[in-house]
Structure 1
């Protein structure tokens, strides 16, 4: 059979339980339902040319038995049309969410277990043009990722079941059911997070309480009834033109409280384990979605074993966000007008025995394309906002208690995908363990693919009072 079948004997015990394969459909009023809701709509290319190594597995969502919480491994019916054409190195395209480069494939009863990695949209589409206006960002379909591997700070080594071949855990959770409305709670690296979206903006409420460190806060990219417009033209596997604009008026807002009592500083970065998706239907037979995803990074820099810090601020940012690309040149389209609504600097309070420092970074990415969770690919615009705050020791407050704030807003945009480095390391570790048993060599996955550019939207820093002890030169 195919190359991957040579792994069959060693990989029989692989991954994934069948529990949870069915769908209790919460979305009955409009839009996708049933298997199309849970797993995505099936492709039926019309007027587009796919790359030669793309395998369209027939049946769409009806051929999918289950998906792991992280979206990496898809269990599909072995008798689905063209399923026997899948092998490592090819691109599986079963639904708009089930798209990826095949990293591993193995029998699982009457099914096939296919583990996929990232793929750029130009590795799927060779020739095609796609465009859509007035994509309303209201009433998203929520795809929670449960407890995926990136939520585990100390992931266990996959069991080998006494063999010399690595086997992923059979108790890996399956993807929770999608739904509309309701709260989402996810956990990662000790943080409990509640993502929100989208009529009033996209944000994350987070909390952490472990090892003598406590944090609670909310960061939000605010907006008012946003909608989007995009255009993508691909010729010969190369992007010739791309545009994306999200309008609605945007601002940034943050509030937080933090404290330490005999704890240790930490730095943790992770993707929020939920996609908020707005299906826009098939364009030229290729089903696409507009998806909002978020990342969070928190770094504590507490200079003593005891202290607290608290602050909040809100700022107007831009009327619209977006970019254009043509003839190999990018042009950011950010109609910005930065204005302070409430001062983060003036709000800083606390009882610090030593210097209390905190850096919070919030990323919001808008993507029109294919794929799910870690492996979304298409036209994207990401806004990354970093808040840095410092509160000087109360022991020196009789002279001057220094307060400092730095805000940086940066944009990343393009056509392709990006993945956080911790996720890349886990997947490449899995690939390296399989390498001795490969006939076809699968190169390590990269943290990004496609074309990409960045720009600075706004940066500023302030320190008060304006005295030499707080870093100001004497007047």
Structure 2
């Protein structure tokens, strides 16, 4: 009797132990299929829709960041685990959604050993979400996660020709490309494009960039900043039946603009260059209705030189207060900017202009700062956005006429663009489409050209002013 009881107790204990062991194995197996914190940080968190309806052509690839092997520096091609759940459903025309950063319209799929190389293009948020509401009232913008893009090919004026080796052009072209560097917090991030070296900064005291250029007899160095204090953001987005029904975005903290520069020419040639700064400054928000979102700050830079002689220098700086908050609202098909504009001079750009110009020295610096709440990475971010574009035009007259009057002129223009969707700079679209056109002879299906914008948007002029001194007939106006 006792022996029988002991046997039963032992059997029960063993059963319990097996149950615990089995449970432990199951949890271990589940964890093995999930991304680690480092993988979530590097590639973005995985979607798990809850309370939203996605579009029917969206393919959620299982495993999130754990299924990502690498991403090219330009963000165009994602190498993923070919055995990941639903990976076999990816095809040109579908929308890949593997992480919050890995989402886009599939342009090409090519096998690489046991993996898949997926080349994607931009996609509007309403092409991903059919029905859903997303809202957050208080997003602190203090210490961003910085995602540098290295030296993506869109920083070149012409893309390098792809190899025709193998069954797929993008297979060889993309595997020859450098992969994205890992994300980081704080520190200097160096980016390069079109001969410019740029260090982007963000966000406690503002979003800006320090840039330098030294080539072909032209030298430039400068810093542009959208200044702010303790920035904070809130947003609301409602999508119904694949259309935006309501959208709001507001960034507060008190804003201003600041520029400083030095430029010179010695037997050089003028140039005009506009490009995206290849780094995302991101603040992960977390999942809302199972869709992981981030608040991202991205920037563009443009420089146009108009030096009227082969020798000369120009230098200047200025700072201005701008607005208490930036943002917009959209409802019932109508946009309305939310900008508490209060433009005031803190230090004069006009009075600061100095130099030794043998001929007229003209310079135009453009700085764009975009705030986006949404999904995607680098060029292919889509969501609710507000972009402030600032143009500084400076002209310094020839020193040869200084005995009579050395003319100085400045022009400042600020414009806002806002909406729900995405926009890409025209020069970048041209380079990417040039690459995609090279795929056509090797593809059975036509490779679609990407567009420079998608979704709904509007724009508004915030401020514009032009000053020229001295006020004499010999002096004209600054470039606009």
| Same-fold status (TM-score > 0.5) | yes
Q: 1:165 to 1:186 in 2, by over 3 A?
A: closer
Kindly indicate whether the alpha-carbon contact (under 8 Å) linking 2:163 and 2:169 is maintained by their aligned counterparts in 1. Answer: no
Aligned partner of residue 173 in structure 2, secondary structure: coil
2:439 to 409, 427, 434: 434
Residue aligning to 1:6: none
Q: Name the structure with the higher helix share.
A: 2
**1:246-298 superposed Cα distances (whole Å, 9 cap, x missing partner):** 00000000000000000000001110010000000000000000000000000
Structure 1 stretch displaced more, 447-456 or 431-440: 431-440
1:104 to 108, 119, 122: 108
1:77 aligns with 2:81: yes
Q: 1:163 to 1:263 in 2, by over 3 A?
A: farther
Residue aligning to 1:26: none
Name which one, 1 or 2, has greater alpha-carbon Rg.
Answer: 2
Q: Which runs of 5+ in 1 are unaligned?
A: 1-31
Kindly indicate whether the alpha-carbon contact (under 8 Å) linking 2:437 and 2:447 is maintained by their aligned counterparts in 1. Answer: no
Residue aligning to 1:119: 123
TM-score by length of 1: 0.91
Aligned partner of residue 453 in structure 1, secondary structure: strand
Residue aligning to 2:206: 201
Aligned partner of residue 366 in structure 2, secondary structure: strand
1:464 to 448, 469, 472: 469
Q: 1:162 offset after TM fit, Å?
A: 8.7
1:150-189 mapped onto 2 (5 Å cutoff) = 150-161=154-165, 167-168=172-173, 170-189=175-194
1:366-385 mapped onto 2 (5 Å cutoff) = 366-385=371-390
Q: 1:154 offset after TM fit, Å?
A: 4.4
Q: Runs of at least 4 residues of structure 1 off by over 6 A? A: none
Aligned partner of residue 446 in structure 1, secondary structure: coil
Q: 1:381 offset after TM fit, Å?
A: 0.1
Q: 1:312 offset after TM fit, Å?
A: 0.2
Residue aligning to 2:25: none
1:68 aligns with 2:80: no
Q: 1:440 offset after TM fit, Å?
A: 3.6
Residue aligning to 2:195: 190
1:396-415 mapped onto 2 (5 Å cutoff) = 396-415=401-420
CA distance in 2, matches of 1:68, 1:267: 27
CA RMSD of aligned residues (A): 1.4
1:249 aligns with 2:254: yes
Aligned partner of residue 394 in structure 2, secondary structure: strand
CA distance in 2, matches of 1:170, 1:80: 20
Residue aligning to 2:334: 329
Kindly indicate whether the alpha-carbon contact (under 8 Å) linking 1:279 and 1:289 is maintained by their aligned counterparts in 2. Answer: yes
Aligned partner of residue 470 in structure 1, secondary structure: coil
CA distance in 1, matches of 2:244, 2:395: 44
TM-score by length of 2: 0.90
Q: 1:159 offset after TM fit, Å?
A: 2.0
Kindly indicate whether the alpha-carbon contact (under 8 Å) linking 1:89 and 1:440 is maintained by their aligned counterparts in 2. Answer: no
Kindly indicate whether the alpha-carbon contact (under 8 Å) linking 1:159 and 1:169 is maintained by their aligned counterparts in 2. Answer: no
Q: 1:430 offset after TM fit, Å?
A: 2.6
Aligned partner of residue 292 in structure 1, secondary structure: strand
Residue aligning to 1:360: 365
Q: Which runs of 5+ in 2 are unaligned?
A: 1-35
Q: 1:165 offset after TM fit, Å?
A: 5.1
CA distance in 2, matches of 1:81, 1:416: 28
CA distance in 2, matches of 1:413, 1:461: 25
**1:20-59 superposed Cα distances (whole Å, 9 cap, x missing partner):** xxxxxxxxxxxx9311000000000001000000000000
1:48-67 mapped onto 2 (5 Å cutoff) = 48-67=52-71
